[in-house]
Each structure stands twice: as structure tokens, then as C-alpha cells.
Amino acid sequence: MDPDAVPRPVAHAMVTAERIVIDGRLDEASWARAEPLTDFVQSVPFTGHPASQRTVARILYNADHLYVAAVCFDTEIEKMMVAGLEHDFNPGAGDIFGVTLDTFLDRRNSFLFLVNPGGALRDEHTMNDSRNVNVAWDAVAHVKTSITDSAWIVEMDIPLTTLRFAADRAEQSWGINLLRRVRRANESSYWAPLDRRYVIHRMSRAGTLTGLGGLRQGRNLTVKPFAVGTRTEGLPPLAPGGDVAFDAGGDLKWGLSAGLTLDLTYRTEFSQVEVDQEQVNLTRFSLFFPERRDFFVENAGAFSFGDVTERNYRMGSSPQEFTLFHSRRIGLKDGRPLPILGGARLTGRTGRNDVGLLTMQTRTTAEAPAENFAVARVRRNVFGTSDVGLIVLSREPTGADSAPYNRSVGVDANLRALGNLVINSYVAASAGPGAASDGAAGRVSVAWRDRLWNTSAMVKQVEATFDPGIGFVRRRDMRHWYGTVGLHPRPRVSGIQEINPYVELDYITDTRGLLETRQGLLGFGVSFTEGGNLQLEVRDQFERIADPFSIFTGVVIPPGDYGFRDVSVSYRSSEARRLAGSASLSAGRFWSGTRRAVGLGGSWRPRHNLFVEVSANRNDVDLPEGSFLADLASARVRFATSTTFFGSAFVQYNAETDQLVSNLRLDFRHAPLSDVFLVLVDRRHLPTGVTLERSVAVKVTRLLAF
């Protein structure tokens, strides 16, 4: 079967007056009368083949609830894998059943619910036909599972107040798809068949759910107050003797209409967020650290602008190179939190427009003055799954010690055509007091991916004075040309799913046309049917350095022309294994000397509620300017006693700073979306044993729905 050629399936939801008890048993009479949804089709590993294990799903509803159930038959039920019991578990590490709902039938946006056999839930909100995924979106949904000797069973209640839809329509249809994943076979199958290029929230390829009527939206108003107590000590600017503080605040979420949601936050606080992952920087450019704070991660896709990427496409650049709005510029300085007084966010859609408005106000501290941050973003949906948009950003000092203001603006167009063609483009500009911040940037990329070819080309320019005050720019004063061609055939060889030979070329000059970087790369990848991946690369690189820069403590690279050539190989085993691992090795010329790099990683899942992960990376660099070892090591343990109590312990070591960072997080979910957190952080200098920072925080939240 060709998944792209078959008609999209249609399902009928049955209304019920019966009380549905969510217990994972499906013993109500209504379930037996509901239409069975079967005949799932594989996406991977054997695209278009019938699913190896049978799945029977059914859908019921009443005025206030949508009920979804599935019987996931398994001929080897003892080999079923549970990814974990914690909320928002890793969906790639075990068996799952999922449903995604396009409640406006716009074939672009969706609400996603994934359930594993242990009864844990992962929820996401997606936009722009899977281009933007909001993993921080949290839903009030009730799930129970049960396991028999031949199947595992899912029963789910999704209150309609959790969703957004056109409640004024007496009858309506939604987009829908269903997913069944059998992890040991690396198999993903769908009710609405999908090609292996796509995932469940590709709503332009989803089916349709009909028969819905008389739905009530509800008030859609929630308030989530919090109280937190912290004790912090360490070296200045921290209090050596310890500082105890108490704080309180809260968030309000209000569904203003079927498509628009208002979020208000007061004295926003993020003590429960895990510490950043340590990184090694052997370049002359800044490192990108991703946003981890829930308030900013939620609906981040509504404000995305910059070097966007497309799933399964090589695009030549990514948001880690440039994004016009990087929320870590708000409430953080050098990785340390700054107090946020509060803010407001309005996101959603009206007609064919996706909108996002955000304003945040920080408080004055000894480290930084008070500032206001504002963002306005609008996208106009055109030509089915394409869009054009505008974004305006402002960073304005409001404290006595005023920093310079900054303004940024950008327009972009993201076009999809012919099912395989993607064209992304933008132009952005920044301005501030004086010419130092007045600059511009632009990019055009064209990419094509079908079942055999993967090719793309890009040109990008960033002026030296381009300085967006709420953005991230890794490299300025540059003109970047990029091109790649690759194949990804599926050979008829047992155990191999896909091979991927490819070539890439980067050519980067400054804005005057002087060559700074040239890189050619030959690569060959192999994806195995069981889920593992092997990658080989040969790289030839030229770098011209105009100014000296520090590559490691006490080691400075002088100006000059440098030639690189290295070979790398890496392998990652399937996550389906209880004991999994990865390894990478590279060696070759590096600046004026040589570098050998080794990376090792492993994970062990002895039980469904315990996961252990370790990694170690060594860069052995030998240069005339100085030799050094840049080592990173980390270990993480995730554990749970139930779907309401879980935690993690994370330890990291960075050889350059000689720091050991430990982070323990415990979370008791005492009610839906209501938590008690206990968080410990310890950062110390290993050679001296001096504690640089130590903190403990207890935070309590409670969700109140009206």
C-alpha cells in the first residue's frame, strides 16, 4: 500500500448517555456499540504493510467529555515495554497508543495524547502541520490502563474544557489520527496511513472524525497559585551563610474564545526546572542553550522566527544558529535567574491567522536593571499548509540604571508545495540607540525530499551590527552558502531499513566577500530495522581567523589560515533494548594541531519505573599553543513509584571548570496539574572542595478550575 495514495479514512463518534468510569476495563455497554477503528498500517519499519499487532480503538462522547479507548493486542505481551510512569515520559522508549485531534479541521494544528501501558500520559500541542511542537502544553485528562494475557487496554477521558473548538457549531467534524507503537519491533502504525517521512501530528494526512454535536466548551478558566521556600548559600554574589526566602504567586489561564487563550503570570518562578546540560565549546562562537522553563516553552512555537528546520530535511542551519526570539534573554543572566515581576501572553488563532502576543517585566536587582520585554507575532495561513508572517520585538529598560533599548522586526514566508518541496525565507532587522545595533539579516532555503532524494540549498547573510535584543545570533558579519544532495533508498537487505549517502558543502565569507570558512563533508548513514543507527563522515574544512580567541583555559588560537580534515564514526543502538548504548569516535587535524574525540553513552532500564543513563565525552587536543583534555561526564537516574510520584537525579562534571553539578528533583502530583516539588542543587569546585552554590527549594502548586 502507498500511504500517500489511499483516501483518508473517516470515523464516527457515538454519543452516549451512559456514565463512563475510567478504570481501564471497557465494561460499559456503550463501548461495545461504538464503531471499532482497526486496520492500522505500518509507517516504519515496513511502510504500507499491515500492522504486526492488532489494535481496536473506539470513540464516545457526551456534551462535556470525549472518551477514547483502545485494545492493543499483543501476541508476545510479556515483551511489551513501558517507557516510564512519569508525566511526559519519553515516547521513543516504549510501547504507546496515541490520538491526535484537529478540533478546527484546519489540517494544521492538533492536540496530542500519548499513553503507555503503565498508564502515564504525554500531552502536546502542535502547530503548522507538525512544524512547531509545544511539549510543555499540559492537559487535564484522566487515563487508566490494564494488562491482560493477550493485550493492554487504554481508557481515556478528555474533558472538552481541555480542548479548543468551535462550540457554536451544532454539528462538527474533527481531524484525527491514531498511533500504535510496538517498541521491540521498532514499529509505528497508524489508523490514517502515513509515509515514514511523517509523524502522528502531520494533520494534513490525518483522517476525519464525524458525528460530533451538542458539545459544550465550558468556561475555560483556571488559576494556579504557588508558594515556594528556598535556602541558598555559596560564594558571592550568593550569601555565604545562607539566605532563606519565601515567595508566592500564580498563573491564570483563560480561554477568551474558541481560538484564543490568555495567560497571566505574577512573580513567575522556576525553581523546579532541571539545571542546564554542560557543553564543550571548541569554536570561536557562542553556545546555544535551549529554553527549559515551562512558561516559556509552552506555546513557544507561536513566536518562532529564524533558521527553522523541517523534519527529515538537511537545511544547512537551525534555530541554534539564529532565532529572533530566544526567551532565555528574559529573566536570566549568565545562566542565573533574575526575578520576574509578571507578564501576559495571548496565543491562538482567529480566522486564518495564528497570533502570539507576549509581555514580561523583570525586577531591579544588583546584577541587572528592571526591563520590559514585548513580542508580537502573526502568521497568515496560505495555500493549505504554508504561511507568511510578521514579528515585532521590543526590549525596554524600566529601572533607574537604564540599559539601551532595542527593537527588532522580521517578516518570513514558509511555503510547502507538491508534497515534497519546502521553501523558507525571512528578512529581519534590529535597531537601538546609535548605529551599533542597527543591522539586518536574511535567509532563503529551498529543500526537496521524496522517497529517494534529499537535496537542499541555502543562502544566508547576517550583518556585523545585527543585534536583536531578545534573540540569539551565533555568527555575525557573514554570508553563508550551503548545498547538499543525498539518497535514502530502502535496500532489500535483511535488518537494514534505510541507507543514506550524502554530500554537504558550506562556503562562508564575511559581508565583504572574504572567505572565512569552507567545509566539505561526505557522509554515509545506515538505519537498521531494529532501531539502531550507524553514521560515517569525512570532513575537509578551512578556517581563516582574523582575531585571536580562547579555545580553552590558557590556550589561545592566533590569527591565520587553518586546514582541518577528520574522520568520524558513530553508532546508537535501539532504545527498545533494556540495555542500550552509543559510541562515537573522531580523529584528525584541528586548528594548528590534532584532536581525538571519544563519546560513550549507555542506558539501563531494569524496571519500567527506573531508568539509568550515563555519558562521557573526551576531547584530546594537541596544539602548539597548548594541549588539553576537554572532558564531560554525566549520569541521570529517573524513577517513579506511580503516575503521581516521580523524580530524577542528575550529576555532571566539566573538566574545564573542574565543577561537579548535582541536581535532585522530586515531584508529587497531588491533584491534576498540581504538584509538590522538592529540588536540591549543589555546584562545587572539585580540586578544592569549595561549594560554589547550594540550594534547596520546596514549591507547592494547585490548579483551580472554574
pLDDT tens for each residue of 611-626: 999 999 999 999 999 9
Q: Say yes or no to pLDDT of 241 above 80.
A: no
Mean pLDDT computed over 214-238: 87
- Tell me the pLDDT band of 237, cut-offs 50, 70 and 90: low
Q: What pLDDT sits at residue 271?
A: 84
Mean pLDDT within 596-607: 95
2-53 tens-digit pLDDT? 998 899 999 999 999 999 999 999 999 999 999 999 999 999 999 999 999 9
Cα distance between residue 647 and residue 640, in whole Å? 6
Which among 22, 15, 2, 3 is positioned nearest to 672, based on CA atoms?
A: 22
Which of 164-168, 212-216, 412-416, 451-455 has the lowest average pLDDT?
164-168
Question: What's the pLDDT score for residue 272?
Answer: 86
For the cut 90, the answer to whether the pLDDT of residue 395 exceeds it is yes
* Confidence check: pLDDT of 504 > 90: yes
Lowest mean pLDDT among 84-98, 393-407, 522-536, 555-569: 393-407
Query: Can you tell me the mean pLDDT for 430-458?
Result: 92
The answer to whether the CB of 462 falls within 8 A of the CB of 473 is yes
pLDDT tens by residue, 633-681: 999 999 999 999 999 999 999 999 999 999 999 999 999 999 999 999 9
Contacts of 218 (CB under 8 A, 6+ apart): 64, 159, 160, 161
Q: What integer pLDDT is reported at residue 700 of this predicted model?
A: 97
Q: Determine the pLDDT at residue 143.
A: 97
Q: How far is CA 135 from the centre of its chain?
A: 6
Side-chain-side CA neighbours of residue 586 (13 Å): 22
DSSP per-residue letters across 374-418: EEEEEEEEETTTEEEEEEEEEEEE-SSSPPPPEEEEEEEEEEEET
Residue 661's contacts (CB-CB under 8 Å, 6 or more residues apart) are 275, 278, 651, 652, 653, 654, 681, 682, 683
Residue 221 CA to residue 161 CA, distance in Å, equals 9
- Residue position matching grid coordinates 580562547: 550
pLDDT in tens, 396-440: 998 766 668 999 999 999 999 988 999 999 999 999 987 677 999
Helix, strand counts (H, E) of the chain: 2, 45
In which band, very low, low, confident or very high, does the pLDDT at 683 lie, cut at 50, 70 and 90? Answer: very high
Distance from the Cα of residue 397 to its chain's centroid: 31
Supply the pTM of this predicted model: 0.90
- Reply yes or no on whether the pLDDT at 238 is more than 80: no
Distance, CA of 188 to CA of 49 (rounded, Å): 11
**Across 77-86, 240-249, 602-611, least confident range:** 240-249
| pLDDT exceeds cutoff 90 at 377 | yes
Query: How far are the Cα atoms of 420, 665, 670, 689 from residue 645, in angstroms, in the given order?
Result: 44, 11, 9, 33
Please tell me the predicted confidence (pLDDT) of residue 441. 98
The lowest-confidence range among 226-240, 371-385, 692-706 is: 226-240
**Enclosing H/E stretch for 323:** strand 322-323
- Tell me, what's the pLDDT at 401? 63
234 or 242: whose pLDDT is higher? 234
Residue range 163-186: mean pLDDT, rounded: 93
Confidence at residue 365, expressed as pLDDT on a 0 to 100 scale: 85
Higher confidence at residue 167 or residue 320? Answer: 320
The pairing of strands 55-61 and 14-15 is parallel
End-to-end alpha carbon distance in the chain: 48
Nearest C-alpha neighbor of 420 from the set 455, 445, 387, 389: 455
> Each residue of 563-581: pLDDT tens digit?
999 999 999 999 888 899 9
Per-residue pLDDT, 454: 95
What are the structural domains, with CATH classification, of the chain?
10-213 (2.60.40.1190), 286-474 (no CATH), 476-609+617-634 (no CATH)
CA distance 22 to 388: 43
